[in-house]
Copies of this chain bind each other. A is one copy, B any other.
Amino acid sequence: MTSEVLTRQSVTPELALDGLDSVLGLHIGTTNTLFVSRLERQLEPLSVTPKQVAILWLVHANPGVKQTDLSRFFKIERPTVHQFVRQLMRNGYLVNEPSKLDRRAGGLWITESGQITLAEARRVIVAHEDELTACLTVREKSELFRILMKVYLSAPSKEV
C-alpha cells in the first residue's frame, strides 16, 4: 500500500536538492512557465499573447471599460496595462473612445476583428488547459483553484 510521491528529484536524480523543493515559489514559478510558454506557442498564429487575450476578454465582457479598472483587476500598474492595450489597438483588436463624462478616461471597445480573435483564442486556451490538467481529478482541479485563490486574495497589500 505504498503511495507514490512525485518529486522534482525524479527529473535529475543525481542532484541533491537540499530542501529547494520545499520552496513553494519554485513550484508555482516553474508550473507558470510551463503554462505560459506552451500557450504562447499555440496563440502565436493569432498574434496575441496570453495576457493580451485576458485584456481582450475583459474588454469584450465590459464594453467601455477603463484601463484603470483593468489595472485594479489584474493588480498590475497602469503603464503595464497600457502596453497591452497599445499593442491590441495597433493590431486592430481594440478601439479607444474617450468618455464624454470624464474626458481624462478612455473607454475601450473590442472590434469585430478582436471578437473573432478572442473567440478563437478562447478555444485554444480551453484545449490547452484541458491538456495540462488532464492528469488531475475533478476534486484536485477545484482544490487547486480554491487554494490558489485563497493565497492570492489573502496576500498582504503591496505597500506593507
Q: Give chain A's interface residues, CB within 8 Å of chain B.
A: 5-8, 10-12, 14-18, 20, 22-36, 38-39, 50-51, 54, 57-58, 60-62, 65, 69, 72-76, 125, 128-129, 131-136, 140-141, 143-156, 158
**CA–CA, A75 and B35, complex, Å:** 13
* Assembly stoichiometry (copies): 2
Please tell me if the beta carbons of A28 and B27 are within 8 angstroms of each other in the complex: no
Closest B residue to A37 by beta carbon equals B158
Q: Mind listing 17 A-B residue pairs with CB under 8 Å?
A: A7-B149, A11-B72, A11-B75, A12-B72, A15-B73, A17-B58, A20-B57, A23-B129, A24-B132, A25-B128, A28-B28, A30-B74, A32-B32, A34-B152, A135-B150, A144-B147, A144-B148
